[in-house]
Structure 1
Amino acid sequence: MLKEGRHSIIAVIDCFTRRVKLLVSPTSSSEGICLLLRKTLLSWGIPNVGGLMRTDNGSDYVSIRTTSIYHLLDLEQSRANPYSGWEKPFIERFFKTLSHDLIELLPGYIGHNVADRETIEARKEFAVRLKERSQKENQKADFNLRMTQPELQQLLDNWVDAYYHQQPHAGLNKQTPSQAYNATNYVVKPILAPEALDLLLNFAGEAVVLKGFIKINSLRYTAPELLEHHWKGKKVRVFLDPSDVGRAFIYGTNDWETRVEAVDQRLLGREISPDQYRITKREDAKALRSFRKEMNNLAKTFGMDSLHQSVIDHYAAKAKSLVDFPKQETQHNNAAIGALASVAEQLTNPLKPDYSDSQIEHLKQKRQALEARKQAISHQTASLVRNEHDKARLLAADSLKRSLTAKEQGFLKDYMKHNKLGAKRIEEIMGHKRRASN
Structure 2
Amino acid sequence: MPILSDPRNSHIEALLVAAEEGTLNKLPFLQYLNEIEDIWKIREAGGYLFYCTIVLLAHHRTAFPAEAQEILTKLAHELIEDARRVRAARFFFDVRGYLKAIVVLRLLAQEDSEQDFEDAANEWIFFEWGYGAHLTDRHELLCALALLLCLDSAPPRLAISLFQRLLRLDDQLADTDSLSSSLEPFRKCLAEPPHARYKLFLNLGLQEQLPALISPSPSLAIPCFGGSVVRRERTQYGTLQTASREPFVTGWLDSTLPPVICWKDDSLAGKFAPVASIGQHQPTSPFQTFALQRGADVLALRIYEYERWPRETIRDVWDVYDSYARAYCLSHTDAVLEQFEDSQAKGIQLSIERYQDDTHLVIFLWAISLEGEIEGVPVVTPARVIPSVPRRKGEEAWDIDWELPGGLWKVRVDPLAKEPLRKR
TM-score by length of 1: 0.19
Which has the greater radius of gyration? 1
Please state which structure has a larger fraction of its residues in strand.
2
Please state which structure has a larger fraction of its residues in helix.
1
